[in-house]
A and B are shown apart, each in its own frame.
Chain A
Amino acid sequence: MSKVTKEKIQRMTLAGQNKIPDRVPITSQIETFAYGYGGTTIAEVKKHPLKGVAAFKKCYEDIYFDGFFEPIFVHPFAFFDGLGADSYFASDDGVTAQHAEIAPMEGTEEEYRQLIADPTKFFLDVINPRKFPNLNGPEAGQRKAIVDALKGAGGFMIGMGGGNVALPILTDTPGFMGGFIEMPYDNIFDFLRGFRGSSIDMRRHPELLLEATEAIYETYTRECEKFYSFLNVLSNPPQMLKNAYNIFIKGGEPKCFPFPWFFNPTHAPSFMNQQQYEKFYWPTYKKTLELVHSYGAITCTLLEGEWGAEKLELFKDLEPASVILYVENDDICAVKKQLGDYHAFMGGMPISLLKSGTKKECLEHTMHVFDECAPGGGFIFTTDKSLLSTDDCNPTNLIAVNDFAHAYGVY
């Protein structure tokens, strides 16, 4: 590992712990933007995952970053193709990733009771066949679909694992994602009942919805985070082996490091009122964040949409410096004032300004955000949203902003 890479890791580690590093770290939030910028498409990357890694490499060479979010797009498209689902698809430009809302759960009392009694069996026997056309019909066809899906997942994992190892060497930029979390309530909101269904269920079956959220946490979140924790120790093979022995043979918990961070995009909270948030979302959200922190790791939680100060106030209940609050539409300077003594926070650069603003406007905004947010440490600079296509921002502005931020953000 190069000296520059070590410095960047140290910078992000300290900032994530709400301490003062040598400079404000700058992280990437470029998703399929990278494919457009690097001259490839989603269809090409499905067939040749390394083309995706090459596209991300070009971004990390051309644009200054202390840490990258991903070495290849985070969703395994080819896995879903094998099962015949169109959960993820490309827009007409061939680059922008889209996510269809699929709500395969009917939300009856009986279905909730099945989910609560045995989530794994419910997901495998009820939800999988409803969601995936290729898991219906004769057994031979279903077995073929399983093999096709696993081949797709295998190619994706080679791209993900290989990119996470290769890109820090090739570009002197380390990855910062050391795990992934989908919160229990968001599993229901995103993948089972959808926006409309979960809104109805909060009123029609509130207790069953709560029980289902708890069941998903207990039998699914708690267990699956053990898988994801391997991303945290990817650069430390001895620890990886120890964790594998501890998890798979002894049934224990992993030991992780404060960096790289687990990443969690939250989806439902900005559509909930305070009472709903506290009742349905926060209890398992809090438990999950505490679970990851009990491994020794920190979660970077993306606060999608606008949360408001009242919901954010609950983060004071967590152990200090156990999360990084990635701010999307809330005022990041206000978040700094409210929670800067408790947790690190991330964000600051609106992609709307990068797209439509002049270079001067972008640099002035950057200076203002740094002046407000950098003092005291715990600040990580990035775009407020993921970049999904080359139309999402003017790349010249992004390059200029990150170069300026790197020079201006010295402590």
Chain B
Amino acid sequence: MEKKFSDIIADALRDVLKKFIPVFWVPVIGDRLLDKVMNSYAVSLLWKGWVMISLM
């Protein structure tokens, strides 16, 4: 099934965080932590920031 843009942009952010922040390299714990970050309020605000600019 074709990926939606919301999945693509979320995966892109996930890859960037995993590449540059060593704590996310730790097996199992790193992935769980990353899941928490991706579901956090701060990241939901980031999506809204993207939408805010892209709507203009």
Contact = CB atoms under 8 A, between A and B. Distances in A.
B21 interface: no
A264 to B, nearest CB: 14
Given A220-B48, A224-B49, A226-B45, A129 B5 contact: yes
Find the residue from B9, B45, B53 having the highest chain A CB count within 10 A: B53
A79 B55 CA distance: 11
Given A124-B9, A143-B12, A76 B54 contact: no
Interface stretch (A5-13, A131-139, A207-215, A300-308): A131-139
Contacts of A220: 48, 51-52
B3 interface: yes
A224 B46 CA distance: 9
Nearest to B49: A227
A223 interface: yes
A127 B55 contact: yes
Nearest to B42: A248
Nearest to B4: A125
Contacts of A131: 54
B5 to A, nearest CB: 5
A128 B5 CA distance: 8
Contact of A227 (B4, B5, B52, B54): B52
A83 interface: yes
A95 B38 CA distance: 41
Interface in B5-56: 5-6, 8-9, 12, 41-42, 44-45, 47-56
Contacts of B54: 79, 83, 123, 128, 131-132, 149
Nearest to B51: A123
Contacts of A249: 42
A159 to B, nearest CB: 15
Contact of A142 (B8, B41, B45, B51): B8
A124 B51 contact: yes
Contacts of A128: 5, 54
A143 B16 CA distance: 11
A282 interface: no
B51 A191 contact: no
Contacts of B12: 143, 146
Contacts of A124: 4-6, 9, 47, 50-51
A182 B53 CA distance: 11
A121 interface: yes
A80 B53 CA distance: 9
A226 B45 CA distance: 9
Nearest to A153: B53
Contacts of A80: 56
Given A121-B6, A124-B9, A125-B4, A227 B45 contact: yes
Contacts of B56: 75, 80, 87, 182, 191
B55 A123 contact: yes
Contacts of A171: none
Contacts of A132: 54
A248 B41 contact: yes
Interface in A175-194: 182, 187, 191-192
A146 B11 CA distance: 12
Contacts of B3: 139
Given A223-B45, A248-B41, A248-B45, A143 B8 contact: yes
Given A76-B53, A120-B48, A227-B52, A251 B41 contact: yes
20 contacts: A120-B51, A123-B55, A124-B6, A131-B54, A139-B8, A143-B8, A143-B12, A146-B12, A182-B55, A191-B55, A219-B48, A220-B48, A220-B51, A223-B45, A224-B48, A224-B49, A224-B52, A248-B41, A249-B42, A251-B41
Interface of A: 75-76, 79-80, 83, 87, 119-121, 123-125, 127-129, 131-132, 135, 139, 142-143, 146, 149, 153, 182, 187, 191-192, 219-220, 223-224, 226-227, 247-249, 251
Given A192-B55, A227-B48, 6 more contacts: A80-B56, A124-B4, A125-B5, A127-B55, A220-B48, A227-B45
